Amino acid sequence: MAPLPFDSGLSAAGGPPWPRGSALLTNSLLNKGTAFTERERDALGLRGLLPPRVFTLEEQVSRVLGNLRRKESPLEKYIFLTTLQNRNETLFYRLMQDYAEEMIPLIYTPTVGQACLEYGAIFRRPRGLFISIRERGRIAEVLRHWPVTDVRMIVVTDGERILGLGDLGALGMGIPVGKLALYTACAGLHPAYGLPITLDVGTDNASLRADPSYLGLPHARVRGTAYDDFINEFVAAVREVFPRALLQWEDFGNTNAFRLLQENRPRLCSFNDDIQGTAAVAVAGLLAALRETAGNLADQRLLFLGAGEAGTGIADLYVAAACSEGMPEAAARARCWFVDSEGLVVRNRPGRPLAHHKLPYAHDHAPLRTLAEAVEAITPTVLIGVSGQPSTFTPAILRRMAELNPRPVVFALSNPTSQAECTAEAAYVETQGRVLFASGSPFPPVTLGGRTYTPGQGNNVYIFPGVGFGALACGAREITDAMFLAAARRLAALVTSEDLALGRIYPALTRIREVSLELAIAVVAEARKDGLSTIALPADPRAELTARRFEAVYREYV
């Protein structure tokens, strides 16, 4: 096992003298299971505690892969993998790295959505910290209960908006756990550095509150001043207990997500993946698609279904990208249109006042009620779904997009698969294969007219591991929107002509470690340019960052 990525010397899992006997076998970061050698078994008091045959890591991977593939449902596979992670993290991450295309959809989207829904039923062993509103005044004490004292990456949620599934309260813990697994598998962050946290302030999901097996606080969400004071204490406690940690806000509701990000960016190195990560992966997909359409950013008309944190985050980054190419900001914003639950977002729309984050994209136009009407009026070149409303990109809308554009761009980004605005098959069939399509969750290849199309997965896994790893590696004081734009441009550049020929506007997941490294290098360069880097790295940091990555190989104990 490699040393920790940002320090030399011993791993946070511990060094000599190693735990012995059963204590070693129950330490998931140190356990090798049947791969402990004869010498190690004698030296570490393991003789008799393991079956006699010694296996290699490769042999163990083959065995667990066979066992995994015999499971009948994705949820059963998820449970198997999380149990493996709790027993032997090196073996777990080796499996993740060697079979990324198969494992990532199981450990994260789309399977993690079902896992969160079932989290109370499948709960086996706590992983991470549950900090409830009852711990007000003691949050720093609770953080110190975590066994690793030098946490560098925290993923935190309050469970209010889990994927497209809504308020799942404490059951949302599957999201931080899954995201941190991807940090290690995709970017090489040492697993000892990660801390998943769920902040439990209650839930407005009445069915959960009535469920006797629900794991969280069975009362309505605490809001207002009490909520803000709780969050402020949490941020202060993180700064006190884990001063070198980067914090990733995850799946907070729209009423809190934007303001928590803006209020805390100056206080704590942090970002919101739903706003900034989703934006970067979508803009990267658009930049790659423009290589096929021979278009440019200034000529696009973007129509969003969904005006929450993901949609406006994408629009904001599109505006930044267009402005960097010489387009005035007002003109760039005028290219972005939104449809929310009440229709087209326009100025002076009757009904409720527009939320603050929608105001920059409220243009002068007559109110329209439906997405179909908006498509007719706006004639978009790009249609982006971030609504969590399944099947809203109807066959008629998809056909109309194909009538308006020789190569329509359609992104159905809502997760999990059950919430996608349309399927890949519908997108290709209704546009006669001319669509440039991406989805948030994976869809199988589609064969049409003798050609097979491989849809791209516009998933944040392409962005956040590399961005976070790069920011940690250079000690970035802040994670800026410019870093996410640099990551988006680098991701788009990594899409090959072979990818585009398959209909894919993102690299294959088999390349995810390469992709994350390249994005980390881009983030380091941007941090240096803006004077935000605090750790000296070589002028060309590629070899340094490669050497700092966690590799899923066993250490030698004797």
Q: In the structure encoding, which two tokens stand for residue 505, read together?
A: 């506007």
User: Using an 8 Å Cβ cutoff, are 426 and 477 in contact?
Assistant: no
- CA separation for the pair 70, 76 (Å, rounded): 10
Length reported for the chain: 558
What are the beta bridge partners of residue 305? 339, 385
**179 catalytic residue (yes or no):** yes
Residue type, 280: A
Give the full edge-to-edge strand order of the sheet including 194-200. Answer: 129-132, 194-200, 153-157, 246-249, 270-272
What are the beta bridge partners of residue 155? 196, 248
DSSP 506: S
What are the beta bridge partners of residue 248? 155, 271
Query: In terms of DSSP bridges, do strands 270-272 and 343-344 run parallel, antiparallel, or are they unpaired?
Result: unpaired
Query: Which residue's entry shows tokens 């249609």?
Result: 383
- CA separation for the pair 96, 102 (Å, rounded): 8
- CA separation for the pair 517, 540 (Å, rounded): 13
| Residue (of 480, 494, 552, 557) closest to 523 by Cα position | 480
- CA separation for the pair 476, 541 (Å, rounded): 15
Q: What phi and psi, each to the nearest 5 degrees, are found at residue 522?
A: -65, -40
Catalytic residue among 108, 214, 318, 361: 108
DSSP 556: P
**32 catalytic residue (yes or no):** no
| Residue (of 508, 14, 505, 513) closest to 290 by Cα position | 505
Close Cβ partners of 462 (under 8 Å, ≥ 6 residues apart) = 281, 284, 491, 506, 507, 512, 515, 519
Catalytic residue among 179, 214, 361, 453: 179
User: Using an 8 Å Cβ cutoff, are 253 and 245 in contact?
Assistant: no
- CA separation for the pair 98, 135 (Å, rounded): 41
Q: In the structure encoding, which two tokens stand for residue 535, read together?
A: 């750790």
Query: In terms of DSSP bridges, do strands 451-453 and 446-448 run parallel, antiparallel, or are they unpaired?
Result: antiparallel
Taken in order 521, 273, 11, 45, the sign of the CA dihedral is negative
Task: Sort 515 into a burial class: Cβ within 10 Å, 0-12 / 13-18 / 19+.
Answer: buried
- CA separation for the pair 59, 51 (Å, rounded): 15
Four-CA torsion 48, 53, 54, 59, nearest 10 degrees: -140
User: Using an 8 Å Cβ cutoff, are 557 and 40 in contact?
Assistant: yes
DSSP-derived secondary structure for 179-201: HHHHIIIII---GGGEEEEEEE-
Q: Look at residue 372 and give its three-state secondary structure.
A: helix
What are the beta bridge partners of residue 382? 302, 409
Catalytic positions, written as ranges: 108, 179
